[in-house]
Structure 1
Amino acid sequence: MSLRTALVSLGIAAAGGALVVGAASPALANGAHDDWGHHHDGHHHEFYQGRVNAPGGLNLRDKPTRGSAVIRHAHHGEIVSIFCKTPGESVKGNPLWYLLADGTWAWGAARFIDNIGPAPRWC
């Protein structure tokens, strides 16, 4: 089970900018990752890096769609940690979204995040 699937199945809710997850232990079962990129088989997986390129900054959302709730706002030029990528709603011709691992687990449209180094892995 992917982290995204586990989190969605647990019914994530944004509360005051923080992520609230009911029954966190199932989300970490079956080899999932925790907030620091540690795989629960004992291996460490580094996060990917990106830089926000949207001139006015980028709204980070609770789902990979433009109509979903805004979790927080990333400023132009901000360096973000990316956990993985997934297809979602197309933004200016780019259907990819990045799950950001900054403590909020928010989604950002890949159209507005330039990769620093290798492209993120699939979720």
Structure 2
Amino acid sequence: TGPAAALDGTDHHPPVYKGRVTAKSGLLVRDAPNRGGRVVRSEPYGKVVTIFCKTKGSQVGRTALWYQLTDGTWAWGSAHYIATLGKTPRWC
């Protein structure tokens, strides 16, 4: 529980997940969880990003997982280029 708990005992604030960009040339963040999605921005190598959830999308490297990032815009980054810090993100 705690200060974020609602009166009914449920916590309506989803957990916060973090990850670090591992792509040396930066991470291309897209408007859909696939390589065909429009690039909306890029995140530099080493930046810690906030992850909302994960879903399956197009294959990148050895994974088809994509993370929905909440930094600035709700957009998608391939899990292949994001090392999770702490807990693995929940499914969308």
TM-score bracket, shorter-length normalisation: 0.7 to 0.9
Kindly indicate whether residue 12 of structure 2 is the aligned counterpart of residue 43 of structure 1.
yes
Structure 1 runs of 4+ with >4 Å offset: none
Q: More relative contact order in 1 or in 2 (CA 8 Å, sep 6+)?
A: 2
**TM-score relative to the length of structure 2:** 0.85
Structure 1: give runs of 5+ residues left out of the alignment: 1-40
Greater strand percent: which structure?
2
**Alignment partners' CA distance in 1, 2:13 and 2:32:** 26
Greater helix percent: which structure?
1
2:57 alignment counterpart: 88
1:116 alignment counterpart: 85
**TM-score relative to the length of structure 1:** 0.64
**Alignment partners' CA distance in 2, 1:45 and 1:87:** 20
Identity value in percent: 52
Aligned residues: 83
Counterparts of residues 22-101 of structure 1 (less than 5 Å): 43-101=12-70
2:42 match: secondary structure: strand
